Amino acid sequence: MSFQSLFLRLAVASSLLMRAYAAEPAYTVVDLGTRGGTQATAIRINDSGQVVGNSLLDGNVAEHPFLWSGGRMVDLGTLGGTVGHAFGVNGSGQVVGTSHTVGNAAFHAFLFSGGTMHDLGTLPGSTDSVGASINDSGQVAGWSYTDGLGASHAVLFNGGAITDLGTLGGTSSFGEGINASGQVVGSSNIAGDAAEHAFLYSGGVMQDLGTLGGTSSEAFGINDVGQVVGSSDIAGNAARHAFLYSGGVMHDLGALSGSNASSAIGINNSGQIVGLSSFSDQTTRAFLDSGGVMRNLTDLIPANTLPPGALLTEALGINSSGQIIANSANTFHAYMLTPASPLTISSPASLPPGTVGVPYGPVPFTASGGTAERDWAATGLPAGLFINAATGALGGTPELGSEGVYPNAKFTVIDSNGAVASVTLSLTMNPSGPVVPPPPVITSVSPNPVLGITSNQSFCVNGSGFINGPGLKVRLTWPAAQVDLPVGFFNPNQLCLSFNFGIAPGNWTAQVVSGDGQLSNIFFFTVAAPGHGMITHLALPHFVFGGSWYSAIYLSNTTNALENVQVKFTDDNGAPLLVPLAGIGSVSSRIVILNPGTTVLLEALNGPGPFAEGWADISLPPGVIGYGTSREVIAGRADREALVPFVPESSQTAEFAFDDTSFTTAVALLNPSSQQITVTVTAFGADGDQVGSAQLALAPHAKSVNILSAYAGMAGVSGKQGRVVVSVPNGAVSVLGLRFGASGFSDIPVNHR
């Protein structure tokens, strides 16, 4: 992601700023509705997205079980009584639960299959039973009361038979979940009814799963690989926490920040867990635990998805596609959350060339995935071309003077949840009339600075578009004179010569007169005095301009001698970046002459020009100091500015503190070296535990810019404070940290070593 995309998300428009704070991943939300009453509760979901639960009927006269499928909620009825409850559903849409029998004489477990509700009966001598969960083989886990409504035993309903699963030595047990292998989980009193423990029933044996160090525990769900979830007292019974039992060990999942208790209810085969976390004010919040990180589900859905003030207070089921069912105690409605597919752009493989003064396109760009209400933007286009913000169609009429090649035309789409996708293409704009080759361009002179000596030395002019011919030459200009030099070595991108520059320091310029007579840009370089001090290369990792953005570089000479500073601009892909410096013109490299004690300001202005971004390499001699700034300028609002410090280009490790509790952290990761590097980013929470890790490859002189939590493997930093370590095994890495809040942004001090 570029800083352009980052600022579109975090700063350019306040609506996008707020969307950027929405945590990842994003979900779309569907209200399941009711069967006419005011309340509905979702209990379980299968892999087809069918949901079962319970809803009040018209007038709230009774509660019936429902099956929600294909956007329609179906009343499953009862076994002849007034009230029924659904608790489980399998992949075939078979539903289990419990229902009043005729005359409301008792509650019996039921199986709803083929449009009919079947009574599953009870254990001998029992009057009541419950069907809690069903697998794809039709096996049902539940319980049957053995002593009125006092004691109960976990049972397995299978093919018309009822098997008593027994207890862990106590009076009662309850079967809550079943997997494809017929393993059953639940809870049971231990001997003497001293406590209740979670159990796993497998192969005819009921196994005590123990606790997290406290007195009691209970299990609610199991997946097909035998992982069990539930809740347990922790040591000293100080709190009750959600747990994951896996590999023979019960793991404490903790609770949401600020919560004093939690319970895990559902788990899918990928190990994603849902449940609820309780707070001291007696409220609860639904959570998703994925990859070892527990997140508040309400934070994972787009703003304004729920009614004002509504929260997701419990999540009871999650399927293999990651769809979640959750309930709200504010609205008394049930909701299905579906992960949004990644936002992607479909674009032409290449853009057709255009002609100045001739209408262009329209060329369509389309987006898929993400959430609705997408906005389009484009940068790096010739004057007169634009992209329709609503439709994504590129069109317009190129203006006079816009002929040339636009290699970094970037097209970006942002969805309503702040997700960003972009594509960069090259666009050629031909002049009206006969096509004339573009003039040559100088991008660098090497060496630069040239060390002054009293004899000839070789140097090269680098760039593009050099055309051989009788008139090809390089024009050198310095304070005392000007000379045209013949070229000793030619290729279209490099001209090499030999010349005696002398020993007097100063600013020089080079200009190519091409073989077809066209003149290149004028390129500034420096001749340095013999024995000049060691140059230190520092990076300004972020330099952005155009549109709403202004950037500047301040350089001050603290010495009593004339000093030269070379500033080279590079885009995020590692290519030279032309920067329209105020009062100077468009350059990708600039030699700044600093008289003793003076300060020079290089400015790239905001305004009507296209948005562009990159970084700067600054060659500082001893005694020269400086820094950069970036400023957002929006009419009707106070400007917002951050200082951007120069950072070393030789470090292999960088560290900084982050705070993603009420702010959003962004980073620029820069490869200042001439070799490809692999960057490792590791985040640690306030307690020192690792909360995220990511790796990315960077080409020579390229950089990556993103919100910290948006890097793959770094979602765990959301809502936390801590420390980030950035390292490379070879080469070097330069790092900039930025902290965004609703009122502005600022840099984060980074320690390079």
> How many CB atoms neighbour CB 526 within 10 A?
22
Single-letter code of the amino acid located at 112 = F
pLDDT of 436 reads 67
Q: Structural domain boundaries of the chain? A: 225-339, 344-430, 441-528, 536-644, 649-752
Residue with tokens 């913000």, as numbered in its chain: 389
Beta strands in 548-659 (DSSP E): 549-557, 563-571, 579-581, 585-587, 589-594, 599-604, 607-620, 624-632, 640-644, 647-648, 653-659
Range list of H helices, 26-134: none
Single-letter code of the amino acid located at 31 = D
Secondary structure class of 409 (helix, strand, coil): strand
Shared fold status for 344-430 and 649-752: no
Distances (CA, A) of 712 to 172, 195, 201, 256: 46, 43, 38, 22
Rg of the chain in Å (alpha carbons):
34
CATH of domain 536-644: 2.60.290
| Bridge partner residues of 35 (DSSP) | 57
CATH of domain 649-752: 2.60.290.11
pLDDT of 453 reads 75
pLDDT along the chain (753 residues), means of 10: 33 26 61 94 95 94 94 95 96 96 94 96 92 97 80 94 96 96 97 95 96 97 96 96 96 94 95 94 92 89 83 95 93 91 84 92 88 86 94 93 92 82 92 77 82 79 88 90 86 86 85 90 81 74 90 92 90 93 90 92 87 92 90 83 89 92 91 90 92 92 92 91 91 90 83 87
CATH of domain 344-430: 2.60.40.10
CB 155 within 8 A of CB 182: no
CB 147 within 8 A of CB 187: no
> Phi first, then psi: what are they for 597, rounded to 5°?
75, 5
pLDDT of 315 reads 96
The string of DSSP letters for 477-499 reads EETTEEEEEE-SEEETTEEEEEE
Would you say the C-alpha torsion 18, 20, 24, 30 has a positive or negative sign? positive
pLDDT of 621 reads 85
End-to-end CA distance of the chain: 26
CATH of domain 441-528: 2.60.40.10
**Element at 17 (helix H, strand E):** helix 14-20
Residue with tokens 């002179």, as numbered in its chain: 445
The number of helix segments (H) and strand segments (E) in the chain equals 2, 66
The CB-side HSE value for 100 (13 A sphere, CA atoms) comes to 13
pLDDT of 17 reads 25
pTM of the model: 0.51
Structure tokens that stand for 28 in this block? 């779309």
**Element at 20 (helix H, strand E):** helix 14-20
Residue 439 burial (10 A CB sphere; 0-12, 13-18, 19+): middle
The string of DSSP letters for 141-158 reads EEEEEEETTTEEEEEEEE
Distances (CA, A) of 168 to 116, 173, 197: 35, 8, 8
